[in-house]
Amino acid sequence: MAPSTEMRFSGWGVEADAGELSGHVISWLEQRFGAPLAARVAPPELDDLRLSASQLSKRATAKLSACVGAANLRTDRGARLIHAAGKGYPDLLAVRSGKRLPAPDAVVYPADESDVRAVLKICGGQGIAVVPFGGGTSVVGGVAPLRGGFDSVIALDLCRLRKLIDLDQSSRIGTFGAGLRGPELEHLLRARGYTLGHFPQSFEYSTVGGWVATRSAGQASTGYGRIDEKLVGARLSSPAGELKLAARPASAAGPDLRALVAGSEGALGVITEASLEISPAPEVTRYEALMMPSFEAAAEALRTLEQQGLSPEVTRASDEHETEIGLAFAGVDGVKGKLLNGYLRGRGGAPGALLILGWEGASGSIDQRRRAALSVLKDAGAIGLGAGAGRAWAKSRFSTPYLRDHLLERGVMVETLETSTSWSNLTRLYRGVGDALAAHAPFVGCHISHLYLTGASLYFTFIAPQDRADPLAQWKAAKRSACDAIIAHGGTITHHHAIGVDHRRYLKAEDGAAGVDALRAVKASLDPRGLMNPGKLL
């Protein structure tokens, strides 16, 4: 029988890791909102939900079942529900709404590349839309079971394509099945002395194919590189045929088609495997925290580090608002807060912008770089807070989505969005998007999470009491204001969460009409009937 996903249908991750909403988080929010939080409304159970009836014909069911095996074609409520949505705020609202949920008519679990090709051929002949599905972690509607102009749609779950296909140690290239999840991949590589170094917040559940399809950036991408920078080869099965791109370090043979696979979001075909640059597993990992006098000072200091080649593998600078809530949510208030303030005052500082640094490398290799970086930061007014605060961040870095779920149950809207721009435009973009969001939420925080020679990313979080009458309209208004501000102030519409459904209308503003037409032409060539992931990207 096909492996089942571990993710809860009603929220992030698994129940055993969800924990509970702490009292100091509730107290801080109630003080900030000036009103008590709503009573907890538990998420629905499976039996509480209504799904649209499956529209898959008997003929198509028989053909798909014969192709992958009866056990690997599922039409039961549980499988269809888990594949009905990703993990974005609108997805969670839909699950909790009590309304009938649109769901794929079936979930198909191919075993390998040949299965994928055969399934696409059947779907082309039967007129069935196909939604490639990895970990189901999309927060922009990337796995919504949209049908386009077709009567039925399947979720093509790649969880059986989860192996290390090849390890070229001389070239430091690993080739992986698209369904391999982050922890599985790292386990396979660490056992051989390597790491991919790719740790998005969704690391525990997202997959290789999903990373490539969305041009993912991990928390250590400043040091190890984004997934599209690491991609040296790929296989993509489309309705028109297979695109097989051999692993090569470089080529001048026309436009780089690997760049076309990266970011394709399932709209061009199904990524079945990827060849990626790997690195030696680090012998030393060191996290630490510092307090900067301001977010602007932190940004300027990080620019200096990056352009002087001194940046650590993990670099995260929170603005004053995000620092405040981060410390409050971590319980650093009351007596602990007074102690922290006293410590900072004793060193001529005050609470400002929290900086998290993570160093990785061979034993002895990070010392000189770290000393030089800390010298730059201290000249910019940084005050060291020690390794404990850095380790605390590292320990909890994959658990933040659980907090969003808990707050949603208490009537609080929590949402994030991200962008990037050049260093010279960073402050303008930061202020423009922050001001736009402030009109919709009493709390808006931001952090820099990835550094480049030419610029950096900005990751915004906004929190507000939920509009119980129409929470989706509330979210749409805030999202649109922020996206409009991103475009108006020279940012990219997404730095690492992809386009999906949520950002479709902004792609033309970024790539231009001719660019979008070129992408449409590519889609028409690889997917002439428009079977692949309708309504996403374009």
Report the interhelical angle of 400-409 vs 23-33 (nearest 10°). 60
Could you count the other beta carbons within 10 Å of the beta carbon of residue 17? Answer: 12
Three-state DSSP state, 416:
strand
- Based on the residue annotation, tell me whether 459 is a catalytic residue of this protein: yes
Which pair of structure tokens corresponds to residue 14? 């698994």
Three-state DSSP state, 82:
helix
* Calpha distance 261→531 (Å, rounded): 17
Of 194, 402, 459, 506, which residue is the catalytic one? 459
* Calpha distance 320→30 (Å, rounded): 20
Alpha helices of 101-200 — where are they, by DSSP H? 113-126, 182-190
- Cα angle vertex 187, ends 81, 306, to 5°? 95
Q: What is the DSSP string of 282-326?
A: PSEEEEEEEEES-HHHHHHHHHHHHHTT---SEEEEE-HHHHHHH
Q: What is the DSSP string of 492-510?
A: -S-SSS--TTTTGGGHHHH
Placement of tokens 């009937």 in the chain: 529
Q: What is the DSSP string of 190-212?
A: HTTTEE-----TTTTT-BHHHHH
- Give the burial string for 231-243 (b: 16+ CB within 10 Å, else e): bbbbbbbbbbeeb
Active centre residues (catalytic)? 459
